[in-house]
Structure 1
Amino acid sequence: MQASALRRWGWVHKWSSLVCTLFILLLCLTGLPLIFSHEIDHLTGAEIEAPPMPEGTPRVSVDQVAAEAVRAYPELVPLYFFAEEDAPDLWYVKLDTRVDTDESQSLLIMSDARTAEVVGVPNFDEGFMSVMYRLHVDLYAGLPGKLFLGAMGLLLMVAIVSGVVLYAPFMRKLGFAEVRRERAPRTRWLDLHNLLGIVTLVWALAVGFTGVINTWADLIFKGWQADQVRALQAGDTRVLLGADAGEAPAADGSVQTAVERVLVAAPGMAVAMIAYPGTLRATPEHVAVILSGDTPLTSRLTQALLVDPDSGEVLEASARPWYVTALQLSEPLHFGDYGGLPLKMLWALLDVLTIVVLGSGLYLWLKRGATEART
């Protein structure tokens, strides 16, 4: 590669790195405890558990759960029900003042799926883990904060790619993983920076890219909702279960019956989320039932079906777009939430190594400035 091209790539690497380094360092530091969020909540007692009851105790309808939640919080209405894989006897229920809010002031509670009683309110907005989460996700700035962090993630991608371009010419006279320990401290740190940078290359690209996708989640779901509404208005739908299907319970306007009809239309799937009409993930007239599979991968690739609670007709308004699939896969991959504790430990190790890469890069720039000032 010509010297002029190397200088240009060096300029790109330097300034893309400098602009994003402090923010990416913050994301790595806050992301480290978030990798073990479930384990930390369990150890600290912050995890809410269902009261002990005889095994096989049947569940009550989601309508009863919703009614009990509204009875406890009469000024609010239900937006979503979330199922937790590790807590099959509990529902997460999200409430807000109306269904068409931006959900920034919503309340999340936990209800017993067998009795409909409210068993607790997760302290997601309090304590150390809450601070780590908000700093990691949006810097306490909502959607603008998410998009800003997404821009920093894109700069990180540029810094990584430009670093790879510079790596080969730099290492031409050195063996792989060689650190010149006999040289000055800045040279040793430069060799270590290059070594750890190439070792963590694939991980940093994967986590950085999935992080960028996650910052667009709100916009992605709004776009998907708009696509679904347009498909419904245009009649571009696939009817999975007709209104008069005899194999399913007759529609009666209840959300529970709507969910049961969806499960008949999509056998072998499990309910991951229920979205009430008018919310971000549904349409104004339909309940959206988000289904998941039963394997580590398919449990993340959800399928959204729409059901009219009055007629009982189950529709697939539009197939899951590629960008929604990318989001659904990126969320757990970003935190190493696919392979249990061993993968989380690996994610944490690579996170620490990336912190060293970022810190050493900042050190090299500062030392370079000091050297230039002396000359």
Structure 2
Amino acid sequence: MSKAIEPGTVKKSLSAHAAIGLIAGALLYIISLTGTVAVFYQELQRVEQPTAPEMAAIAPEAVQRGIEAVLASEAGKPTTTHLYVHLPVEDMPRATVTTDTQAQHLTPEGTMAGPEEIAWSDFLVQLHYTLNLPVLIGITIVGILGVMMLALVVSGVVAHPRIFRDAFRLRARNGNGTGLADWHNRLSVWTLPFTVAIALTGALIGLASVAAYAIAADDYDGDVEAVYGPIFGAEGEPDPRPAPAPNVAGALAHMAEAYPEVEVTYAILHDPLTRGQHVQIVGAHDRRLIFGEYYAFNADGGFEHSAGLSDGELGQQASASTYDLHFGTFGGLPVKLAYVLFGVALTAICGTGTYIWLGKRRRRGIEEPGLRGAWHGLIVGTPAALLLSFVARLLLGNEASFAAVFWLCLLAAIVVGGLIAQRNVAAS
């Protein structure tokens, strides 16, 4: 005969279940809010470092000079395996060379103009992308949260069969929380396509990375780049023997002549200053969701092939479209403003969901002032902690620990919110 589960155990299990739900809801709120702010990642970089040189375009020869100058400054440092040149585009009219150890802005003439200092903007993106955790752990959690958001969308629609019929119906506010529930449901309907797109692409980006690590560990001796090779282009055979800098100017000149309709956004050097080096040029295609096409060149600047992201297999094109669709970088300022509007609505949905849940428990006679106060702390504390981390950037510079500032401030807001709520109940 089986032994019945003790009532105390059931109560603890329910509390644990509720705590897990609250943590998931809190992380979804943080991810939604930071994703909304990160829509303006490029603009935030310009605010964070307003003195960096800007230009509408940069000549291929100037890019070549900049690459060679940055590589010369790497003498005595660990060998750089990849070098990236961000080329000026409308949203970010700056030329920047990034290696494994540094990032340098370039002048229009190709001379080094000083280090890139956008640590706060990068912190914001990492907070959204990995919750400032180690990459594999953080991106796994965020990918799972994307799946959870999809499940919440589906279950929410199924649980409310009149949700579309009542899409514009708002009942009067009263003490039973129907007003808040109506706003939650209406916003959910109005933003449904956006939410599905964001949740699906977020889940794909996060869990695809996890799958790539798993496949690499099982089949490619841990080489993740080999997993992505069939999609984004394979790495060449390494040859560590020294060689002069590759002819990036020639590759850029070829792009301008052969693909004048393509907007070149990046030049990537693989294993620079070795005989195994090669160059990839990334080009954006107008009216396409793909983030760009990869064009491969040899060290002499000779064109070899494209990866097929713009015209290859459907899976390749779909993979290359998830990033722009998720971050809203495919249609200029109007699309960014729309993403901010929908992102604010999604953030409100994530925040009000827990208030509705707490209200239902209160109506059943379960008073939880500490949880309600802690949730107040989270809702108010997240944007406040973001703002304080930016103030730390202004006061302390690029080297401040923005993650520590954010998480400590947010934790303090949650704890103080819970304590104040419990004290108010005790005093009443």
TM over 0.5, shorter chain: yes
For 2:360, the equivalent position in structure 1 comes to 368
Whole-angstrom distance in 1 between the partners of 2:186 and 2:246: 62
Are 1:116 and 2:116 an aligned pair? no
Whole-angstrom distance in 1 between the partners of 2:93 and 2:198: 32
* CA gap 1:258/1:340 in 2 versus in 1, 3 angstroms: closer
* CA gap 1:321/1:143 in 2 versus in 1, 3 angstroms: farther
Residue identity matched to 1:205: V
Q: How does 1:29-108 map to 2 (within 5 A)?
A: 29-43=33-47, 45-46=49-50, 48-50=52-54, 58-74=59-75, 75=77, 77=80, 79-86=83-90, 90-96=94-100, 106-108=101-103
Q: Deviations over 1:317-355 (max 9, x none)?
A: 666454443343332332333333333232222222222
Instruction: Give the strand-richer structure, 1 or 2.
Output: 1
Whole-angstrom distance in 2 between the partners of 1:26 and 1:211: 14
* CA gap 1:89/1:134 in 2 versus in 1, 3 angstroms: closer
Q: Is the 8 A contact 2:270 2:279 kept in 1?
A: yes
Q: Displacement, 1:258?
A: 4.1
Q: Deviations over 1:145-164 (max 9, x none)?
A: 11210111011011101111
* CA gap 1:46/1:214 in 2 versus in 1, 3 angstroms: farther
* CA gap 1:253/1:368 in 2 versus in 1, 3 angstroms: closer
Q: Is the 8 A contact 1:17 1:155 kept in 2?
A: no
Are 1:159 and 2:166 an aligned pair? no
| 2:27 aligns with one of 13, 23, 28 | 23
TM (normalized to structure 2)? 0.63
Residue identity matched to 1:366: L
For 1:184, the equivalent position in structure 2 comes to 175
For 1:6, the equivalent position in structure 2 comes to none
Q: Is the 8 A contact 1:305 1:317 kept in 2?
A: yes
Instruction: Give the helix-richer structure, 1 or 2.
Output: 2
Residue identity matched to 2:297: V
Q: How does 1:165-180 map to 2 (within 5 A)?
A: 165-168=158-161, 170-171=162-163, 175-180=166-171
* CA gap 1:193/1:48 in 2 versus in 1, 3 angstroms: same
Residue identity matched to 1:36: F
Whole-angstrom distance in 2 between the partners of 1:253 and 1:130: 29
Q: Is the 8 A contact 1:68 1:118 kept in 2?
A: yes
Whole-angstrom distance in 2 between the partners of 1:157 and 1:195: 17
RMSD: 3.8
| 2:299 aligns with one of 309, 314, 324 | 309
Q: Is the 8 A contact 2:246 2:278 kept in 1?
A: no
Q: Is the 8 A contact 1:20 1:156 kept in 2?
A: no
Q: Give 3-state SS (helix, strand or coil) of 2:364's partner.
A: helix
Identity over the aligned pairs, expressed in percent?
20
Question: Which structure has the higher relative contact order (CA within 8 Å, separation 6+)?
Answer: 1
Residue identity matched to 2:296: L
* CA gap 1:367/1:17 in 2 versus in 1, 3 angstroms: same
Q: Give 3-state SS (helix, strand or coil) of 2:168's partner.
A: coil
| 2:265 aligns with one of 245, 251, 272 | 272
Q: Deviations over 1:55-99 (max 9, x none)?
A: 998552543221211233432645222223138974321212xxx
Whole-angstrom distance in 2 between the partners of 1:149 and 1:24: 9
Q: Is the 8 A contact 2:60 2:253 kept in 1?
A: no
Whole-angstrom distance in 2 between the partners of 1:360 and 1:203: 18
Q: Give 3-state SS (helix, strand or coil) of 1:180's partner.
A: coil
For 2:374, the equivalent position in structure 1 comes to none
Q: Displacement, 1:44?
A: 5.2
For 1:344, the equivalent position in structure 2 comes to 336
Residue identity matched to 2:292: T
TM (normalized to structure 1)? 0.71
Are 1:224 and 2:228 an aligned pair? yes
Bigger mean CA offset, 203-212 vs 30-39: 30-39
Q: Is the 8 A contact 2:83 2:99 kept in 1?
A: yes
